[in-house]
């Protein structure tokens, strides 16, 4: 129940949440760095750590996270698993799964996220994983260039979803990085 003082209802909002609500009402969108700063504060407030398992981004997600000062309070570690062998050795993704489904698949990216979560020590961590085809080659009819699977794992479960991005290699990789940060933001709400 919200307290009432002198007939006024007192609402408790952090300055970060207040700024976000005001900017949302005004139609402003935060730039990527500002958005990441807000996410970082929410992670710290909830005592959560982030773990990444990256393939097509090659460390761009973890680099974006650790570009912020103080990221050691909320960023735990990164697994850069570009090759199938690295996915297997570092994250425990079964080679049979990679061979059956392909590295760019729901099952493999979920396995990557679960492997990252487990190897990081579980607990109050959010593990995200990405595997995709950034181009300019490597695409197929079933998996065109720009196809990226996002996976996550945390104490409450695991999941995955696919997005197909437009653009050249650099644009796809940047969009994947930004979408991964959005995924982290959404997953914070689970806690």
Asked whether the bond before 74 is cis by omega within 30 degrees of 0, the reply is: no
Supply the pLDDT for residue 24. Answer: 47
Q: What is the pLDDT of residues 17-75, one digit of tens each?
A: 444 444 444 455 579 899 999 999 999 999 999 999 999 999 999 999 999 999 999 99
User: What does the DSSP 8-state code read for residue 125?
Assistant: E
Quote the strand ranges of 1-110, DSSP E.
Answer: 4-5, 8-9, 49-54, 75-80
57 and 176 Cβ atoms separated by less than 8 Å: yes
Supply the pLDDT for residue 27. Answer: 53
Q: Which pTM value belongs to this model?
A: 0.85
Please, what are the domains in the chain?
Answer: 32-188 (3.90.950.20)
Supply the pLDDT for residue 28. Answer: 55
Q: What is the pLDDT of residues 35-48, one digit of tens each?
A: 999 999 999 999 99
Q: What is the pLDDT of residues 161-173, one digit of tens each?
A: 999 999 999 999 9
């Amino acid at each position: 129940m919200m307290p009432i003082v002198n007939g006024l209802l007192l609402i408790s909002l952090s300055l970060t949440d207040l700024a976000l609500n005001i900017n949302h009402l005004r139609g402003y969108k935060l730039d990527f760095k500002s958005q990441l700063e807000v996410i970082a504060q929410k992670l710290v407030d909830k005592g959560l750590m982030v773990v990444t398992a990256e393939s097509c981004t090659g460390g761009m997600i973890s680099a974006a996270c650790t570009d912020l000062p103080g990221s050691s309070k909320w960023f735990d570690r990164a697994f850069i698993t570009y090759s199938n062998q690295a996915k297997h050795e570092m994250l425990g993704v079964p080679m049979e799964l990679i061979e059956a489904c392909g590295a760019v698949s729901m099952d493999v990216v979920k396995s990557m996220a679960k492997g990252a979560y487990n190897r990081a020590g579980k607990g109050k961590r959010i593990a995200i994983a990405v595997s995709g085809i950034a181009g300019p080659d490597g695409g197929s009819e079933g998996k065109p260039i720009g196809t990226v699977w996002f996976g996550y794992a945390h104490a409450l479960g695991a999941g995955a979803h696919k997005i197909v991005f437009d653009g050249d290699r650099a644009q796809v990789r940047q969009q994947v990085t930004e979408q991964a940060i959005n995924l982290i933001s959404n997953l914070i709400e689970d806690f």
